[in-house]
Amino acid sequence: MALFAARDRSVHSRRRRDWQPAFSPQAIRHYEEKVLLHIEELDQQLELKAKSGAVDWYESVDWCQEQIQARLAKGPAPELRDLTYYIMEKEKENNVDAGPWLRGIVCSPSWREALAAVLHELVLHPEHIDKLHAELGDTCLTDTNALAELPHLNAVIQEAMRLHPFLPTGGIRKTTDTGVTIRDVHIPPHTTVLTPLYTISLREDCFEQGSSFIPDRWTTRPEMVRNAAAHAPFSLGKYNCIGQHLAMRMMRAVHACAGHQKVQVLPSSRGGRERDGGGEGGSVYVFCWAGAACF
Ligand code: HEM
């Protein structure tokens, strides 16, 4: 059973405690050292590709999945004491096969969706790529502490995650025997509660021009955020995303490359779904493999 699916509080807390050391500041630093090599490689590849043509998004996704499958198939080698190794070992102790779960985290939903969401918006709003480029200046792409201080980079990521929440109707919870009263609303016992994050994100009473991509609302136009509590891309409380700091640090590094290399849009080779930029020209989504390389 995946960690997030452990609904028994004590089981969940114990399993989460097991995972916690893998996300400590020291562990993240150690892990970053490895990942940042791939970020430099990504930046170089982007530069090369920009000269020789586009990279196909779908090929990149296939490559990414192959890398992770190969990594998981190899199993935990003693010298590989990193995040993947740690989680696989811990989950083995809990009699859980972490393979599918890790593949789930790494290859797909959250990480990939968030990377794609930001790129999707950048592709549709190239002026923000220029702005990122200017903001980056000569900031080192692998200096994750310096990247964390860049307001527009952070704002672009937050805004894209607001418009494309990874769990559009997610965070399913169920009340217990007693039900629960929130303000003056009583939710009866054993009721499943769904939070429609996508709908909330677009509400005018939460965000002015809620359906528009306006990163400046997170920086110079705070009045456009009418209810900041409506934005919780990593969820809240005891079940919130344990990997959020790592995810944000890695996303900043990947998207800094987009700004640095001023990524441009070309038509998609296999036609586009909505998130691919679809009717508006498709996209060159070169970054998925950077995410994959991270793991
Ligand atoms: C931008 C990328 C990411 C987003 C948007 C994201 C989002 C989320 C959200 C919304 C939840 C809560 C689900 C719920 O309420 O039921 C969650 C849980 C979780 N996430 Fe992430 N996540 C991201 C990246 C990561 C990464 C990189 C890792 C680990 C390497 C990770 C590991 C987890 C785990 C283990 C949980 C379950 C936590 C628990 O139940 O205690 N996530 N994530």
**pLDDT digits over 194-227, tens only?**
889 899 999 999 999 999 999 999 999 999 999 9
User: Is residue 166 lining ligand 1, measured as CB closer than 6 Å?
Assistant: yes
**pLDDT digits over 94-116, tens only?**
655 555 555 445 545 677 788 88
User: Is residue 111 lining ligand 1, measured as CB closer than 6 Å?
Assistant: yes
pLDDT value of position 290: 40
Return the residue whose CA atom lies nearest to atom 30 of ligand 1.
Answer: 243
pLDDT value of position 95: 59
- In the chain, domain spans: 3-294
**pLDDT digits over 73-84, tens only?**
776 554 445 566
Return the residue whose CA atom lies nearest to atom 10 of ligand 1.
Answer: 234
DSSP structure string for 235-289: --GGGS-TTHHHHHHHHHHHHHHHHHHT------TT---GGGTGGGT------HH
User: Is residue 242 lining ligand 1, measured as CB closer than 6 Å?
Assistant: yes
pLDDT value of position 274: 41
Higher pLDDT, 46 or 16: 16
Is residue 225 helix, strand or coil? Answer: strand
pLDDT value of position 41: 78
pLDDT value of position 271: 45
Mutate to test the pocket of ligand 1, among 15, 241, 249 (most ligand atoms within 8 A of CB): 241
pLDDT value of position 221: 98
Percentage of the chain beyond pLDDT 70 is 69
Q: How confident is the model at residue 277 (pLDDT cuts 50, 70, 90)?
A: very low
pLDDT value of position 222: 98
Percentage of the chain beyond pLDDT 90 is 32
pLDDT value of position 88: 62
Mutate to test the pocket of ligand 1, among 23, 110, 238 (most ligand atoms within 8 A of CB): 110
User: Is residue 239 lining ligand 1, measured as CB closer than 6 Å?
Assistant: yes
**185 DSSP β-pair partners:** 182
Which ligand 1 atom is at minimum distance from the Cα of 232? 10
Name the DSSP letter for residue 181. E
pLDDT value of position 295: 38
> At the fourth CATH level, which superfamily is domain 3-294?
Cytochrome P450 (1.10.630.10)
pLDDT value of position 97: 55
Higher pLDDT, 106 or 129: 129
Q: How confident is the model at residue 1 (pLDDT cuts 50, 70, 90)?
A: low
pLDDT value of position 64: 66
Q: How many whole angstroms separate alpha carbon 281 and alpha carbon 272?
A: 8
pLDDT value of position 287: 40
pLDDT value of position 208: 98
**pLDDT digits over 18-61, tens only?**
888 878 888 888 878 877 887 887 788 777 766 766 666 666 66
- Cβ-proximal residues to 154 (8 Å cutoff; 6+ apart), any chain: 148, 218, 252
Rounded average pLDDT over 156-171:
90
Indicate if the pLDDT at residue 138 is higher than 50: yes
pLDDT value of position 225: 98
The H or E element that residue 206 is part of is none
User: Is residue 235 lining ligand 1, measured as CB closer than 6 Å?
Assistant: yes
